[in-house]
Amino acid sequence: MFYISAIGHSASLWLSTALTTHPDIVCWHGNRSIPPYDSGINDLSEEEFVKGLLACEQGWKMGVKKFGSCHGFHGSRLLKYVKKYDGLFFAIVRNPINKIHSYTSQYLELPPGAKNLTNYRFDIQEFYKDHGNKINEHFKNVLEKKRKQRSQRKYLIEKLKDIGLYSALKKTHNYFHAQKIKKIPAIKDQLIFNKVENISVKKINKRFGVDFIAKHLISNFLSCNEIVVNLDQEIFNEIGAKDFICMEKMTKSSNYYNKAVFKKIMKYNAEKKYLKQVYKVKKSNKHTYKPVSTFEIYNSWPKEYKNYFSQLHEKSSVKKLYRDMDYNLSKIL
């Protein structure tokens, strides 16, 4: 039994598909339930999910079949239970600059409840080039607003704990949330996705306004920095670099894929025929508007973006992990 921690934008679907291509492996993707519904539907607790994977594996009576999952429970949430039941725990890492760019340039996502189900993908680097001054102008205010919201939330939680209400309110919230996600949507409803439309920077500026887009991009950039760097740091503190899977090497080198993933799961080397099948698996979920190098991404960032990322990276010990993966960020920052 195994689990691969990932937060998307790191070829996690490709890896799950590649593993499941092997007849003796099942690797689900993006679920926290068994059967594997989408996350948020019939979710299990961390321990119950791990026990479920183990039960699937032990219940297979037709030889050996390894069961695992990827990209459902983020960070190190499952690590304790995977260890408890003698499973294998891995995590995918990607160059953080590329990963943040992938998140922030995916598309302009409209807020929940919006009547228009269209999300807009545009050339974010062109926006930086034309309106980087707007990003720099709004950056500190958006950052301060986020910090204030976080501080207020923390203060409210502490106050509720002081008066003995936090635990009861949390249980109530969890109960109603659990009842809500027990309702399984019809198959046809699970297949409805928001439409993604490519649009020019000029047109999207006219539709939403430069200031709105700039503030949206800043907020997204700050959230992505926290998610990417902090979760990499969290897992690195727990497992070191040994069981991290480098996305860039995994998707390009069959030798690396075999040594870093397949052999660790199956305890033997993959056959050449299977490895050929793996690299025929099509890459899915195109997030960025166009292919671009790490150097080009960083140089396209407005000044405030560069300063924020550089400072966050410098004070985080996860930079050792990034060095181990040969990202060489020191040559770019």
Residue 259 is predicted with a pLDDT of: 97
Least confident span in 97-111, 149-163, 244-258 = 149-163
**Mean pLDDT, all residues of the chain:** 86
Nearest to 181 by CA among 40, 310, 283: 40
pLDDT of residue 101: 93
Once rounded to an integer, what is the mean pLDDT over residues 278-300?
Answer: 81
Burial of 114 (0-12, 13-18, 19+ CB in 10 A): exposed
How would you class 74 by CB atoms within 10 Å of its CB: exposed for 0-12, middle for 13-18, buried for 19 or more?
middle
Q: Which helix (H) or strand (E) segment is 88 a member of? A: strand 88-93
Residue 124's pLDDT band, with cuts at 50, 70 and 90, is very high
Domain with 243 in it: 2-331
Give the CA dihedral 96, 133, 332, 98, nearest 10 degrees: 20
What token pair was written down for 190? 């699970």
Could you tell me which residues come within 8 angstroms of residue 289 by beta carbon, excluding any fewer than 6 positions away? 105, 121, 122, 123, 124, 125, 198
Lowest mean pLDDT among 10-24, 183-197, 224-238: 183-197
The tally of domains found in the chain comes to 1
Six-digit token pair at 99? 């990963």
pLDDT at 157 over 80: no
Report pLDDT for 95: 96
Give me the mean pLDDT over the 316-333 stretch: 90
Over residues 18-24, the mean pLDDT reads 95
Rounded average pLDDT over 39-52? 90
Residue that the structure tokens 């007849």 belong to: 23
Give the pLDDT mean for 286-297: 80
Of 23-27, 45-49, 191-195, 302-306, the one with minimum mean pLDDT is: 191-195
Neighbours of 173 (CB within 10 A): 10
Distance CA 197, CA 107 (A): 9
Question: What is the per-residue pLDDT for 150?
Answer: 73
In the chain, pLDDT over 70 holds for what percent of residues? 82
Comparing 20-29, 72-81, 171-180, 302-311, the range with the smallest average pLDDT is: 171-180
- Residues near 325 by beta carbon (within 8 Å), at least 6 away in sequence: 93, 95, 241, 244, 246, 248, 249
Query: Stretch 296-313: mean pLDDT, rounded?
Result: 95
Q: Which residue has the higher pLDDT, 282 or 304?
A: 304
- Of residues 288 and 147, more confidently modeled: 147
**Whole-angstrom distance, CA of residue 180 vs CA of residue 157:** 24
Q: How many CA atoms lie within 13 A of 210 on its CB side?
A: 14
Give the model's pLDDT for residue 333. 85
pLDDT in tens, 194-237: 577 788 899 989 988 999 999 999 999 999 998 999 999 999 99
Question: At residue 111, does pLDDT exceed 60?
Answer: no
The pLDDT confidence band at residue 37, using thresholds 50, 70 and 90, is confident
The helix (H) or strand (E) run that includes residue 83 is: helix 79-84
Ramachandran angles phi, psi of 287, nearest 5°:
-100, -35
Of the candidates 286, 203, 232, the one whose C-alpha atom is nearest the C-alpha of residue 11 is: 286
Alpha-carbon distances of 228 from 43, 165, 297, rounded to whole Å: 23, 33, 16
